[in-house]
Amino acid sequence: MFYTIDILGTIAFAISGVLVAFDKRMDLFGVLIIAFVTAVGGGTLRDLLIGNTPVSWMKDITYTYVIIASAFFAIFFRSKINYLRTSLFLFDTIGIGLYTVIGVQKGLQAELHPIICVALGTMTASFGGVIRDILCNEIPVIFRKEIYATACILGGLSYFLLVRLPIENDVALLISGVIVIVVRLLAVKFKIALPNIYREKIRN
């Protein structure tokens, strides 16, 4: 089941990359690359930092096929893709939930400190979008207005509380993934943002 959601997340991330590349009027190759880095960028950074090489997507060709197929789908149906934005947002949100959990797990396997595990989970979920924005010459959206990464951090931290309860490890992982998803959905629904740290300036 994890694998299925992982693939759905990959599709959503790939398509979100295509949409940004469209806005920049990139050519076919550029669109494919942006789709690719958006989908696998986070996992690649995580694998590099912990020394898990060759990185994951190089060892399982399925990701490559899924990303290329998703990108061509988005290119051919570009005029209709707007109707899919709600579904995409859901896939994307489910994707970051799962990507966070995968990152935390990889950190645990490498016997790293819980805080570092949470950082790895957050990177896995969010770095693809960061590198997408850098390649498109934008300040990464995540640094400016998203509760995105905060949801990953809260979900990741909750795992380390949950494992102290008398429940199975897989269940704790699942619940922490769900927490990421719920926090993100609530934040978007109720337009919750991080506290504004620039209040003083605005008052003046």
Name the one range near a copy of itself by CB under 8 A: 6-14, 89-97, 170-178, 189-197. Answer: 189-197
d(CA 62, CA 80): 26
Question: Binding-site residue total for a copy of itself (CB under 8 A)?
Answer: 55
Does residue 162 touch a copy of itself according to CB under 8 A? no
Q: Which of 197, 101, 91, 110 is nearest to 153 (CA)?
A: 101
Does residue 191 touch a copy of itself according to CB under 8 A? no
Site string for a copy of itself, 59-98 (x = CB under 8 A): x-x--x----------x--xx-------------------
Cα Rg of the chain (Å, integer): 17
d(CA 15, CA 17): 5
Question: By C-beta, is 4 or 196 nearer to a copy of itself?
Answer: 196
d(CA 13, CA 15): 5
For residue 111, what are the contacts with CB-CB under 8 A and spacing of at least 6?
none
Q: Residue 183 CB, nearest distance to a copy of itself (Å)?
A: 13
Q: Residue 144 CB, nearest distance to a copy of itself (Å)?
A: 6
Q: Residue 104 CB, nearest distance to a copy of itself (Å)?
A: 13
Question: By C-beta, is 115 or 167 nearer to a copy of itself?
Answer: 115
Residues 123 and 45: beta-carbon distance below 8 Å = yes
Question: By C-beta, is 121 or 174 nearer to a copy of itself?
Answer: 121
For residue 144, count other CB atoms closer than 10 A to its CB. Answer: 9
